[in-house]
Amino acid sequence: MDPQASDLLENIRQQFDTLPYPHFPLDATPKDIPGQLYLHSLTNPFYFRDRRIIDPTGRLILDAGCGSGYKSLSLAIANPGAQIVGVDLSDESIKFARQRLQYHGFEQVKFHTCLLEHLPSLNLQFDYINCDEVLYLLPDPIAGLRAMKAVLKPDGIIRVNFHSLFQRAVYLRGQEFFAHLTESHLPTQAERIEQVRVVMRSLKAEVFLKNATWKPIYETDDARVLTNYLLQGDKGWTIPQFFSALQETELAFIGMVDWRQWDLTQLFESVDDLPIEVVMHLSETSIADQLHLYELIHPVHRLLDLWCGHPTPPSPAPHPATWSTAAWQRAIVHFHPQLVTPTFQEALFAAAMQLTSFDFNSHLRLSETPVTVEGSIAAWLLPLSQSPQALPALLHHWLQLKPIDPITLEPTLQQTALSAVQSWLLRLESAGYVLLELRDS
Ligand SMILES: C[S@@+](CC[C@H](N)C(=O)[O-])C[C@H]1O[C@@H](n2cnc3c(N)ncnc32)[C@H](O)[C@@H]1O
């Protein structure tokens, strides 16, 4: 490693030894943060790629650059029965992570002080690697990607992210500004953090850096000042840079982790009003280019956060929207495992009994908008809240609940019921609450 890179690593180590990240107290639980366990559930990447519901039991998960272990804890809670291993270059972070997992009763989670670049020395192969908020700090991110690929099982998945150059630009310039000011003197981190505060206070309100970034919380929260204005090694990337890094390391893109928030078509009032040539062009554009077009005009995501894996994964099952009627007969329907809690089951039961509307989003927050069903649909979905159901059973249940067609007042036709069932399931599937799996024929 060249001396500059090893100096940078040493600075990073010192930074996180002094203030392990995130700086949440030991008793903080990810159960209190909406969507946190969903984000770390292995169900999502494997379902997205393979349309299979995987059992987390016995799966080996790596939290690469685990910091103070908060995401390791999220992974442990979200994936019951999985084995978790965390590594980080900062010894103090590892100590904190170990304490955190012990505090929450996960004694069996293993932590190692180890450089990401040295992962192969663990002699382990992982089903899933979570590398969250780390890659952008590495002197050589390509070496980091290669090291993760080397310890990934053939059908394993890596979640990895990079700061967005476009969204993060103002902070990156701020970091360069403060690096000039604080480099030569002020030995301690606490002094550097305080200097940022003094300088920001004394800037005029209209100065771009202050106007665009400074928040009251920075006056008291050291960790936020550190990670935004003084972060050692921070870098921003664009989508094309990320894709070319995947190409260089022969890793295949699977999808964006928050893929519902990266839909280019959603940025238009109505795609129908666009000139036909533009619609044609967009529909023929590759995924990578669509994501790049998105970040060019709407760079709201701080992280370019994606799943990738070996280039020869199992061939994906087709999307349910394209299934034939025969395929639908083989479908097994699941509620997302993170949705099914006793509170959810009780609330769905109450909505079914009282025929009141039911909002999925208030039980598992996956978007800004409510995802509601009326009481009779809640009643139809009740069996699903107890266990996965085969499609024919759900169809039968629909016909029992709605035996008469409200328009013709004749007995409901099988085909009408099937169309209604498919349409509800596809709607709930695209919102993330229902998972549709094809049983082998
Ligand atoms: C911003 S923190 C993220 C921590 C954790 N992944 C999370 O999201 O909560 C970055 C972590 O990466 C670790 N790190 C940075 N470079 C590393 C490297 N080359 N090898 C292993 N860990 C590294 C740091 O010590 C720090 O704990």
Write the pLDDT tens digit of every residue in 317-354.
788 999 999 999 999 999 999 999 999 999 999 999 99
Q: Which of 88, 93, 138, 235 to mutate to test the pocket of ligand 1 (most atoms within 8 A of CB)?
A: 88
Answer whether 115 contacts ligand 1 (Cβ < 6 A).
Answer: yes
Helix (H) or strand (E) holding 372: strand 372-373
Instruction: State the closest ligand 1 atom to the C-alpha of 131, by its place in the atom list counted from 1.
Output: 6
7 within a domain of the structure (yes/no) = yes
**Rounded CA gap, 292 and 372, in Å?**
33
Ligand 1 center from residue 89 Cα (angstroms): 7
What is the pLDDT at residue 8? Answer: 87
Give the gyration radius of the chain's Cα atoms: 24
Q: What is the structure's pLDDT at 145?
A: 98
Considering the domain architecture, whether residues 10 and 154 belong to the same structural domain is answered as yes
* Residue 244 placed within a domain: yes
Question: Domain span at residue 115?
Answer: 3-166+234-258+301-309
Query: Do residues 242 and 385 both lie within one domain?
Result: no
DSSP state of 227: H
**Among residues 286, 309, 332, which one ends one of the domains?**
309
Measure 20 CA to ligand 1 centroid, in angstroms. 9
Which atom in ligand 1 lies closest to the alpha carbon of residue 231? 1
In this structure, are 126 and 51 located in the same domain? yes
Question: Among the three residues 309, 341, 373, which one is the final residue of a domain in this structure?
Answer: 309
Is the separation of the CB atoms in 372 and 382 below 8 Å?
no
Could you tell me if the CB of 132 is within 6 A of ligand 1?
yes
The β-bridge partners of 255 are: 307
CATH number, domain containing residue 159:
3.40.50.150
Residue 125 belongs to some domain of the structure: yes
Burial of 373 from C-beta contacts in 10 A (0-12 / 13-18 / 19+): buried
Rounded to 10 deg, the angle between the 3-18 and 91-103 helix axes is: 40
Instruction: Output the pLDDT for position 184.
Output: 57
The answer to the question of residue 52 being in a domain is: yes
96 lines ligand 1 (CB under 6 A): no
Q: What pLDDT, on a 0 to 100 scale, did the predictor assign at position 439?
A: 85
Q: Which of ligand 1's atoms lies nearest the C-alpha of 118?
A: 20
Ligand 1 atom nearest residue 70's Cα: 9
pLDDT at residue 346, as a whole number: 97
pLDDT (0 to 100) of residue 185: 65
Low-confidence ranges of the chain (pLDDT < 50): none
CA atoms within 13 A on the CB side of 387: 3
**What pLDDT, on a 0 to 100 scale, did the predictor assign at position 183?**
60
126 lines ligand 1 (CB under 6 A): no
Q: Is residue 290 part of a domain?
A: no
> For residue 133, how far is its CA from the centre of ligand 1 (angstroms)?
7
Domain co-membership, 370 together with 305: no
| Chain-centre distance for alpha carbon 114 | 24
- Does ligand 1 have an atom closer than 6 angstroms to the CB of 90? yes
* Whole-angstrom distance, CA of residue 97 vs CA of residue 87: 10
**Do 329 and 305 belong together in one domain?**
no
Residues 244 and 116 in one domain: yes
Question: Using a 6 Å cutoff on CB, does residue 130 contact ligand 1?
Answer: no
| Residue 314 within a domain | no
Please report, for residues 98, 99, 305, 310, the alpha-carbon distance to residue 73 in angstroms, rounded to integers and kept in the order given: 10, 11, 20, 26
d(CA 17, CA 226): 13
Is the Cβ–Cβ distance between 237 and 304 less than 8 Å?
yes
* 3-class secondary-structure state, position 138: coil
Residue 299's pLDDT is what?
97
Do 109 and 245 share a structural domain? yes
Domain count, the chain: 2
Q: Which residue is associated with the tokens 């970091």? A: 175
Ligand 1 within 6 A of 135 CB?
no
305 with 346, same domain?
A: no
Q: Are residues 154 and 20 in the same domain?
A: yes
- What is the pLDDT, as a whole number, of residue 3? 80
159 & 32 share domain: yes
Atom of ligand 1 nearest to the CA of 90: 25
Is residue 408 situated within a structural domain? yes
Give how far Cα 326 sits from Cα of 322, 329, 391, 420, 441, Å.
Answer: 12, 5, 11, 16, 10
Centre of ligand 1 from the C-alpha of residue 131, in Å: 8
Does 43 map to a domain? Answer: yes
Please check whether residues 108 and 161 belong to one and the same domain. yes
- In this structure, are 305 and 381 located in the same domain? no
The CA distance from 385 to 341, in Å, is 9
Question: Where is 348: in which H helix or E strand?
Answer: helix 342-354
Distance 415 CA to ligand 1 centre (A): 54
Give the end of a domain, one of 248, 277, 309. Answer: 309
Query: Which of 62, 116, 134, 163 is the pocket-test mutation for ligand 1 (most atoms within 8 Å of CB)?
Result: 134
